[in-house]
Chain A
Amino acid sequence: MAGKRMTRKGARGFFWILPSFLGVLAFYLAPYADVVRRSFFGAVNGQFAGLENYRTVFGNPAFLLAVKNTLRFTLVCIPLLVAAALACAVLLFRSKYGGVIKSAFLMPMALPAVSVALMWRMLFHPNGLLNQWLSHLGVAGCDWMNTKYAFWVLVASYVWKNLGYDIVLWMAGLSGISESIYEAARVDGAGEWQCFVKITLPNLKPSFYTITVLSFLNSFKVFREAYLVAGDYPNESIYMMQHLFNNWFREFSFDKMAAAAVSESVVLLALILLLQKAWDGAGEEEKKLARKSRKTGGSGGRLGVKRRGKK
């Protein structure tokens, strides 16, 4: 660890990090180590239990339900969100009013979940607004939050809330593609669609990895709306990991919580390291692309990208 060789020349940098690191150590690392320890011990007798807690957790129907729902939610939401955001980003990128519309899409990010939840309750109540609109169209509604449709309400809520975030990310990717590549392709007679498939998509590959992972990690926050609308025990189609952790916490089942937290963090750690690798790989690719676009006279800078349409 860094601390050991701190006195050596060049280690001054660590002092800048020290205050932050002490806090991280006290509030995150040390207690996490305790959680790992606890996951191998019984909660009541404090005796070493080996993998017993893990066995209990993986045999627990509520845990399996929460894992299943979380996986299902992820597999439905992420492709939907990422694709929808890409479509919007491509359209907005060329539009004169792109900046204004993008602001509209970003707005849900600023709305606190309590405000959203109030709206949701009005909208998805059995006698609520959605059913009323549907009845105008001659479609029979249903009790949205207490049936399997609750899942889709949550999907919609997630996409609604995160669309703007992903659009910004995609547009950052788009602005990194040199216009001269498009011009060259058009001179060669390529159409809009061909340009999109042959130029835009391949060039966005580096952004794709990170957008997917960030969207995935944001998906855990959908618990907020689910909780505020449906409480501790919602329809079982939206019973998420956070519900389960909350309920175990209330029962003081710290042994189960510890084993579940360790298992989940291992899975997530694997995913994050994959991201790291993808990031590095993408970095290489980007460097190559940057070299290419420098040759053709495009711009490479990314972080300083300003909002378009607002000048």
Chain B
Amino acid sequence: MKWKGMRKNRAGKGKKAGEIFLRAILAAAAFMALYPVFFLLAGSLMGNDELLRDLGPVIVGEGGQAAFPLLPSYPTLRHYVEILLDTPEFFVMFWNSVKITAGVLIGQLLVGTMAAWGFAKYDFPGKKALFLLYLVLMLMPFQVLMLSDYLALDKMGLTDSLWGIILPGAFSTFPVFLMYRFFREIPDSLIESAKLDGATDWQLFWHIALPMGSSGIIAAMVLGFLEYWGLIEQPLTFLKEKSLLPLSVFLPDITAADQAGAAFAASVLAFVPAILVFLGGQDYLEQGIMAGAVKE
């Protein structure tokens, strides 16, 4: 590995002290990056009394200052029980999030992989211009496309429907671009020899593109999951009906003293699926991030 060689070249105590100092700063920064996770977990496990004592000034606005320990003194799962058993709205929202995320990802899997394969390994007139168009669309923020999105959904009668969130997401051009980068890496010689053996276009796609580009496909799915699980702008704009809202826009009222614990538990439950995907797919996530930037 490269760094081993670099470290061998290093000597002297002054440098070592500096190294330790820098490491300490990095570790502190990493702790800050992780702090919210600890904070929410701790809060969700605290009883109402403890929460009120520590966060009372924020929650009910009484005098004094909030204080917050890193660990609850009397951990309890009451808030989780409350959310999971006594809050039907939570389930509706959770389920809506699942439907949106699953719908978008399945759509991207169906049309996105095919388009990426077409861009990566075929030549046809106008390909360059079309690809540039996909690139431009991928880079436009939601606000620019918001009105056009709405006009399209309105015409198709899809406002106030989960399909109005799912369909535009399924045709998002970002995963196409991402998977394209991975399909490009598949050697042409392999495709040529498969063709010589009489493979059809479809067989090439099924037996070469999908298995060999699988890390790209997974990378796109991981990034897509994190994006659509936390989606805010689209549901906020296009869904008026309360029963359709996903978990990502669910913000319980924490100023009511007896709700604070439930709010913590709900936000932990909202990030559990995302953290699981993150931990399971981190290698792919990183490859996906890199594919967005590194020119072949």
Q: A residues within 8 Å of B by Cβ?
A: 1-6, 8, 10-17, 19-21, 23-24, 26-32, 34-35, 38, 88, 91-96, 101, 103-119, 121-122, 125, 127-129, 131-132, 135, 160, 163-165, 168-169, 172-173, 175-176, 179, 182-183, 186, 206-207, 210-211, 213-214, 217, 220-221, 223-224, 227-228, 241-242, 245-246, 249, 254, 257-258, 261, 264-265, 268-269, 272, 275-276, 279, 282-283, 286, 302-308
CB distance from B75 to the nearest CB of A (A): 19
Whether A104 touches B293, Cβ cut-off 8 Å, given contacts A12-B124, A23-B171, A95-B23, is no
- Which label, helix, strand, loop or mixed, suits the secondary structure of the B interface? helix
Stretch at the interface among B79-87, B114-122, B189-197: B114-122
A257 to B9, CA, bound (A): 60
Q: Does B39 contact A (CB under 8 A)?
A: yes
Q: Does B49 contact A (CB under 8 A)?
A: no
Given A12-B201, A106-B285, A217-B139, output 7 extra A-B contacts at Cβ < 8 Å: A2-B129, A101-B30, A116-B36, A127-B61, A132-B67, A261-B148, A303-B181
Q: Does B71 contact A (CB under 8 A)?
A: no
Q: Does B72 contact A (CB under 8 A)?
A: no
CB distance from B66 to the nearest CB of A (A): 5
CB distance from A78 to the nearest CB of B (A): 15
A199 to B126, CA, bound (A): 40
Decide: A172 and B236 in contact? CB cutoff 8 A: no
Decide: B130 and A17 in contact? CB cutoff 8 A: yes
Decide: A168 and B143 in contact? CB cutoff 8 A: no
CB distance from B252 to the nearest CB of A (A): 8
Q: Does B37 contact A (CB under 8 A)?
A: yes
Residues of B within 8 A of A135 (CB): 65
Decide: B6 and A94 in contact? CB cutoff 8 A: yes
Residue-wise interface mask of B (255-293) relative to A, using a CB-CB cutoff of 8 A (1 in contact, 0 not): 000000001100110110011011000110111011111
Whether A21 touches B115, Cβ cut-off 8 Å, given contacts A168-B290, A227-B232, is yes
Quick one: which of B1-57 are within 8 Å of A by CB?
Answer: 1-3, 5-7, 9, 22-23, 26-27, 29-34, 36-37, 39-40, 43, 55, 57
A-B contact pairs, 12 of them (CB 8 A): A5-B125, A31-B149, A101-B27, A112-B230, A118-B251, A128-B58, A207-B293, A210-B295, A242-B141, A242-B143, A245-B146, A265-B144
Residues of A within 8 A of B58 (CB): 121-122, 125, 127-128
Residue in B127, B271, B287, B294 whose CB lies within 8 Å of A111:
B271
Quick one: which of B154-172 are within 8 Å of A by CB?
Answer: 155, 167-168, 170-171
Q: Which of B61, B132, B247, B295 has the most CB of A within 10 A?
A: B295
CB distance from A42 to the nearest CB of B (A): 16
- Which label, helix, strand, loop or mixed, suits the secondary structure of the A interface? helix
Number of A-B contacts (CB under 8 A): 329
Residues of B within 8 A of A279 (CB): 295
CB distance from A168 to the nearest CB of B (A): 5
A2 to B123, CA, bound (A): 11
A276 to B133, CA, bound (A): 12
Decide: B152 and A27 in contact? CB cutoff 8 A: yes
CB distance from A121 to the nearest CB of B (A): 7
Decide: B267 and A118 in contact? CB cutoff 8 A: yes
In the complex formed, the residue of B with least CB distance to A221 is: B141
Q: Does B142 contact A (CB under 8 A)?
A: yes
Q: Does B218 contact A (CB under 8 A)?
A: no
Residues of A within 8 A of B130 (CB): 1-2, 17, 21
Decide: B278 and A129 in contact? CB cutoff 8 A: no
Decide: A210 and B293 in contact? CB cutoff 8 A: yes
A31 to B58, CA, bound (A): 45
CB distance from A231 to the nearest CB of B (A): 10
A43 to B285, CA, bound (A): 44
Whether A276 touches B135, Cβ cut-off 8 Å, given contacts A10-B124, A35-B151, is yes
